[in-house]
Amino acid sequence: MHHIKKGLVFATASLAAVTLAGCAGGGTAAPEETAGGDGEPITLTVSGWSLETTPEFQTIADGFHEKHPDVTVELKEYDPAEYNTLVTTDLAAGAGPDIITQKEVKFVSTFQEGGQLMDVSDVELPDGIGGVDSYKIDDVAYATPYRQDSWVLYYNKDLFAQAGVEEPDGSWTWDDFYAAAAELKGKIGEALPIYNHGWQSVVQGFANNQDTGDGILSGDYGYFAPYYEDVLSAEADGLKVPYNTVTANKLTYQGEFGKQHAAMMPMGTWFVATLIAQQASGEADDFEWGIAPAPQADDSTAGMDNTPLTFGDPTGFGINANIDPAKVDAAKDFLAYAASEDAAQLLAGIGITPALQSDAVTETYFAAEGAPTDELSKFAWATHETGPENPTSSKTAAIQTALNDMHTAILSGSQGVDDAIAAAEERVKSEGLVD
């Protein structure tokens, strides 16, 4: 499952086109002393990827250096497609970075089991920051979060108005979502009511975090069935692009929503910055849009007086277990800074969703020219209980591979829902991935 990884790159691909409001935060406090015990300057190396189109790394590095002038942060760029493999190779050769960016949660346990991550449980983090538990193994923290994307519902306000259908109001269940789609059908020209991208998490992420099932580590996957049955029904009713068309034509979610081929699309918050930038550059059509909370399994978590359940993995920083001992304090200060309100303001200012959210951070984020200004969009972005896309376990990556094959079998029509689920359950047991 690679979409968060791709999202990080897409989300900032053309941010130069976005006119961003100035942000509060960095540089207002007096610089703090951080260096070796004798005040000697320190250089920290930090791994990253696609630095030209992923400005978050330099933004955090610059903000940290401003507060800690004795510490220079050097970014070490890796190929995003091979990131974990290349970093692991460098670590094995003793040439790894001091700070290892955790690109995908499902690889945290791989680094930890290899003895490559330091215990960072003593790094102080702000109250309420998201994503912390994704980096804990046996109650020990091996990284700290700095960004946390979550999945929401994007919708085209112009197409809803054209169809005379009521926009999302924050109270929708999945039944309401599909009912609205049925109402939109045939009233929005050639556009379809829904675009679901081909990723497994478009279906499974919601099921994993809104259902009462025990999740992917349990090996019992019956809870996926109603979510897949809904998607298949919507496809049969002509409410969405068929999965086989998505894959055969290599459709992009940016193009499908940005060119108004769909009125609604579940997608991660990283797409906000992309859509703003693409509308500014003309790559996307000019239309009014907003985001709403993801539809919910039932009314108990729906509505703006509740906290909707959604999913998304954090991105974080860990410290190389073999770092020079003289750099440890500076490295821990870097992790603490990246998780701070000051850093959150800087990240929000460039269209990144920080792990720490507050009213002030929300205002900064939505101050970008071209961003939605309605209260529901702000609520959807800032208010949610975000469960993991990938639970932290050494078995997650292999289980996700099996569940991706199940996803493909169901949506391509090669297997029925129940048969595909049974096959996945049998596979994870036979591979020793569940008890």
- Paired with 244 in beta bridges are none
Whether 54 has a pLDDT exceeding 50, the answer reads yes
C-alpha 58/C-alpha 305 separation (Å) is 38
pLDDT per residue as tens digits for the range 120-130 = 999 999 999 99
Q: What is the pLDDT of residues 287-328, one digit of tens each?
A: 999 999 999 999 999 999 999 999 999 999 999 999 999 999
User: What is the pLDDT at residue 97?
Assistant: 98
Q: What are the backbone dihedrals phi and psi of residue 317, each rounded to the nearest 5 degrees, phi first?
A: -120, 135
pTM of the prediction? 0.87
Nearest-angstrom CA–CA distance, 279 and 260: 12
Fill in the DSSP letter of residue 69: T
**pLDDT one-digit tens code per residue, 325-361:** 999 999 999 999 999 999 999 999 999 999 999 999 9
Q: Name the residue with tokens 């289980």.
A: 399
pLDDT of 14: 32
Residue for token pair 């320190």: 42
pLDDT at 39: 64
Burial of 388 (0-12, 13-18, 19+ CB in 10 A): buried
67, pLDDT greater than 80: yes
Contact 390/105 with Cβ under 8 angstroms? yes
What is the rounded average pLDDT for all residues in the chain? Answer: 91
What type of residue sits at position 258?
G
Sorted by where each starts, the structural domains of the chain and their CATH numbers stand as 3-149+313-387 (3.40.190.10), 151-310 (3.40.190.10)
Examine the pLDDT at 19 and tell me if it is beyond 50.
no
Determine how β-strand 136-137 pairs with β-strand 140-141: antiparallel
| Ramachandran class of 253: left when φ > 0, alpha when ψ lies in -120 to 50, beta otherwise | alpha
